Structure 1
Amino acid sequence: MSSTVDTEADRVRPAGADTAPGYRPGRTLPLLVEARRQWKRRRTMVMAIILGALPFVLIAAFAIGGTPSERGSGSNNRINLMDTATASGANFAATCLFVSAGFLLIIPVALFCGDTVASEANWASLRYLLAAPVPRARLLWSKLAVALAFSLAAMVLLPLVALAAGTAAYGWGPLELPTGGALAASAAVPRIALVVAYLFVSQLVTAALAFWLSTKTDAPLGAVGGAVGLTIVGNVLDAVTALGSWREFLPAHWQFAWVDALQPQLEWGGMVKGAAISVTYALILFALAFRGFSRKDIVS
């Protein structure tokens, strides 16, 4: 006998088919319930602590090693984010994003999106969720929405803590720009918000890759590690200059396009191209995840 879980919610019911009184497929596995389940996971708490602690680690490092200006790192007369990290709270927040965007912010996205379905399979609870019955598409939508919400929260947490801690440590002032000049503090906050929004969109590829892998394996670490590993491979390929213009089709090629937001005159070109590439890949991978899971034999 097949051990596949095949609920009535997975199939299109003919008109007049018997259903349990009050049963509504769209109301199964509410987002709030799923969010509470994910919030109570230990990995959520650990990731929040790591991201919240990073700004304080950097402040301590600057206190011990001296500020960049004291070390003369800007002797080439070219302003960069690290050189001006201690100029103001806004500069410190931008620096925290700069040092974490290439790798650290990838981890929570891969973790929340790659662990969500695979962990249920690993705990042998996935088939019971479907037997509840929760329609497969509904289960994926609920888990994906919560995973993306937690990923966005992780990306917002870091600059928020950095802005508050940086303001307490270095004061509230204008954002000194990498290309020279400065933005008033009132204008700097919206620019930093735009940077966070772009980082989230650019990480949709990693989120979709992790989510697709999560529907293909019962090993959460395999899905998370696979997404992180392939993202790193993309970064390595982007460094191969011999690929020429082909690199523009790699999401990694546009991962730092958000620096264009830290210009006296806001530049949209790179961010628009990067967002388009990221969303395109993400939609394909999300579609593959839903299509594959709808036909998958669930035995765990």
Structure 2
Amino acid sequence: MTLVLSEITVLFRRLRTWAMIGALALIPVLIAVVVRVSSDGSGSGRGPAFLNSITQNGLFVSLTALTVAIPLFLPLTIGVVAGDTIAGEANLGTLRYLLVAPAGRIRLLLVKYAGAALFCFVATLTVVVTGGIIGALLFPVGPVTLLSGDTVGIAGYFVRLLLLALYVTVSLLGLSAIGLFISTLTTIPVGAMAATAALAAVAQILGALPQLEWLHPWLFTNYWLGFADLLREPIVWTSFADNALLQAGYIAVFGTLAYGRFSTKDILS
């Protein structure tokens, strides 16, 4: 537990970490401000329906920002954190000192992954909470109509938003495991970060090609935007369960690969 707390403390003391969290917080702020400014006195009704919905209920800012952040911004930040887990320590020359403790390499991998997983949740929650706050400040708020046509109160919708944050967090755990593995392959953290983020982009491109439909269920990005079932009454948990199972598979495979690589890695060279 001491090692976990130390890792979390180090992670969230870094200026880079807070810069990324701040950048994520800007996404709902920019969306809300742009919609607010463009809707003042225009009444044109132009633009996507979900953007127009924001002017009627500010609680939609969180959902919109989360949808915008998932394909690019969240994977970029996760790539930075996960890619830096082992490679960053190796680059700084501190990896050998971390392994002096009797915990061993497998525990260090678990601790590093736990830190990356926590960042996934904090990053996602940042988008959701900031969206809720800025939406309430700039637009009217009230009961929300779900995709199923049912209406829930503000408290009920915030519970749904927390479930959305949990869903997206689970979605990013597979990418974190991939980043951890890549981080064990190099001592250059920037390379591991870039490779992790690039793989997220490649997987999404492959997922958009109908010719590769047979491959789609195996891509870790396949369920990233499948949280619509959480906005129904009653909630349909199928996508959540399928997503969790897929990410667990990626965690198992790439966690094993990371341990296989890290257990034989020469940390003295």
Q: What TM-score does the superposition give when structure 2 sets the normalisation length? A: 0.91
Structure 1 stretch 137-146 or stretch 223-232: which is displaced more? 137-146
Unaligned runs of 5+ in 2: none
When structure 1 is superposed on structure 2, of 184-193 and 172-181 the one drifting more is 172-181
Distance 2:37 2:52 in 1: 16
Match status 1:242 vs 2:215: no
Q: Partner residue of 2:77?
A: 108
- Rate the CA distance shift 1:63–1:228 in 2: closer, same or farther, 3 A: same
* Partner in structure 1 of residue 25 of structure 2: 52
Q: Please name the residue that 1:270 is paired with.
A: 239
Instruction: Specify the alignment match of 2:109 in structure 1.
Output: 140
Q: What RMSD, in angstroms, separates the aligned Cα atoms of the two structures?
A: 2.2
Residue among 46, 63, 68 paired with 1:73: 46
Deviation at 1:54, TM superposition (A): 2.1
Deviates more, 1:49-58 or 1:126-135: 126-135
Identity of aligned residues (%): 29
Q: SS where residue 186 of structure 2 aligns?
A: coil
Deviation string 1:118-138 (CA, Å, 9 cap, x unpaired) is 111111221222235552122
Relative to the length of structure 1, the TM-score reads 0.82
The one-character-per-residue Cα deviations of 1:87-139 (angstroms, maximum 9, x if unpaired) are 22321111111111111111222222111211111112212222355521222
DSSP-derived class of the 1:235 partner: helix
Q: Is the 8 A contact 2:83 2:179 kept in 1?
A: yes
Q: 2:213, 2:17 → 1: CA distance? A: 40
8 Å contact from structure 1 (residues 114, 223) kept in 2: yes
Stretch moving more, 170-179 or 246-255: 170-179
Of 178, 192, 214, which aligns to 1:223?
192
Tell whether the 8 Å contact from 2:54 to 2:60 is kept in structure 1 after alignment: yes
Q: Is 1:98 paired with 2:71? A: no
- Identify if the C-alpha distance between structure 1 residues 70 and 299 changes in structure 2 by more than 3 Å, giving closer, same or farther: farther
By percentage of residues, which structure has more helix?
Answer: 2
Task: Tell me, in whole angstroms, the C-alpha distance in 1 between the residues paired with 2:101 and 2:214.
Answer: 50
**Number of aligned pairs?**
268
Larger CA deviation: 234-243 vs 58-67: 58-67
1:49 shift after superposition:
1.3
